Amino acid sequence: MFVNFLCAMKRFFVLLSIITASLSVAAQIEIEGSQCIGLDLKFKYSNLPARYDSFVWDFGDGTTSTDREGEHSFASEGTYTIKFSSKSGGADEITGSKSITINAFPEVDFSIDTTGQRSTRVFTAKSNSDNYTFAWNFGDGSTKTGNEVEHIYSAPGTYTVTLTTTNNQNCSDTTSQTVKIEAASKIPNVFTPNGDGQNDYFMISANGARLKLEIFNRWGYKMFSRTGTENIVWDGYNPQGTLVAPGTYFYVITVEEGTTNYDPLNGYITVYY
């Protein structure tokens, strides 16, 4: 009976070893990191018992590692089969494999439309895919998302615009360009319409916007009104066709409908002869 008991115990331990080995084999390869060209990925075999002391990783691109947890980056896009094997004291062996796809980075570039108004720019990503997301930073603290975006700068200056493009595999790349926002034309404060060829006109530059210039005398009578998209010039004549009297006049520059990025301007202009 005792012999039978020993035999039964041996069978039990053998069965337990088989079950334990089976549980170990059920472990899987885990991958950490974005699966993009050139980025480091970390590989480990989950739940690997501590008794296993030799390791071989085959990354499927001709490179291998003998570290317990492998680390590798891939130089080309494509699908690779990752293989792992480990032994305990050179005896029982655990193996596993897993396929991964390495993705290319999205094309990241953009154009800037400078034909709009003075402070408005339209930015367009050169890639346009439903699988991409586009994140813009306009360099003035403002951000937007989308393939094509419009931004209005509130002050003149040179700004660095950054576009980050990300595909649906979480591979992203970034590029930047600078954009210069010009100040509004300087408004003169004096002119002499005496026909001597020097400083004979009061002129403002619309810089492509549709602006309206109005001149009033001190009593509020309108001396001049004109709308234009280029240079707007007052020659010092009133609506009756005669030169205005020397003195100080009030000007108002407003923006025609549809060009909302110009703020109204007003001030004083002195006429003397």
> Is the confidence at residue 112, as pLDDT, over 70?
yes
HSE at residue 259, side-chain half, CA atoms within 13 A, is 21
| Mean predicted confidence (pLDDT) in 39-50 | 90
DSSP assignment of the chain: -HHHHHHHHHHHHHHHHHHHHHHHHT--EEEES--BTT--EEEEETT--TT--EEEEE-SSS-EE-SSSEEE--SS-EEEEEEEEEESTTSSEEEEEEEEEEBPPPP--EEEE-SS-TTEEEEEES---TTEEEEEE-SSS-EEESSEEEEE-SS-EEEEEEEEEEETTS-EEEEEEEEEEPPPPPPPSEE--SSSSSS--EEEE-TTS-EEEEEE-TTS-EEEEEEESSEEEE-SB-TTSSBPPSEEEEEEEEE-TT-TTSPPEEEEEEE--
How far is residue 31's CA from residue 39's CA, in Å, rounded to a whole number? Answer: 12
Q: Residue 93 — φ and ψ, nearest 5°?
A: -125, 140
Residue range 190-271 in CATH 2.60.40.4070: yes
Cβ 111 vs Cβ 123: under 8 Å: yes
| Mean predicted confidence (pLDDT) in 179-205 | 84
In this prediction, residue 11 carries a pLDDT of: 46
Pairing of strands 120-125, 110-113: antiparallel
How far is residue 262's CA from residue 154's CA, in Å, rounded to a whole number? Answer: 10
Cβ 250 vs Cβ 216: under 8 Å: yes
Report CA 236 to chain centroid distance, whole Å. Answer: 50
In this prediction, residue 32 carries a pLDDT of: 92
| Mean predicted confidence (pLDDT) in 187-205 | 89
Report CA 163 to chain centroid distance, whole Å. Answer: 2
In this prediction, residue 119 carries a pLDDT of: 74
Residue range 110-181 in CATH 3.90.79.10: no
Question: Regarding the domain delimited by 30-102, which CATH topology (the fold level of the hierarchy) does it fall under?
Answer: Immunoglobulin-like (2.60.40)
Q: Model confidence over 126-168: pLDDT tens digits? A: 887 788 999 999 999 999 999 999 998 877 778 999 999 998 8
Domain with CATH 2.60.40.10 in the chain: 30-102, 110-181
Cβ 36 vs Cβ 103: under 8 Å: yes
Q: Note the pTM of the prediction, 2 decimals.
A: 0.53
> Is the confidence at residue 17, as pLDDT, over 80?
no
How far is residue 67's CA from residue 53's CA, in Å, rounded to a whole number? Answer: 10
In this prediction, residue 10 carries a pLDDT of: 44
> Is the confidence at residue 260, as pLDDT, over 50?
no
> Is the confidence at residue 214, as pLDDT, over 90?
yes
How far is residue 197's CA from residue 180's CA, in Å, rounded to a whole number? Answer: 34
Q: Model confidence over 54-106: pLDDT tens digits? A: 999 999 999 999 999 999 999 999 999 999 999 987 667 889 999 999 999 98
Domain with CATH 2.60.40.4070 in the chain: 190-271
In this prediction, residue 264 carries a pLDDT of: 66
> Is the confidence at residue 192, as pLDDT, over 60?
yes
**Of 111, 98, 107, 113, residue with least CA distance to 128:** 107
- Across all residues in the chain, what is the average pLDDT? 83
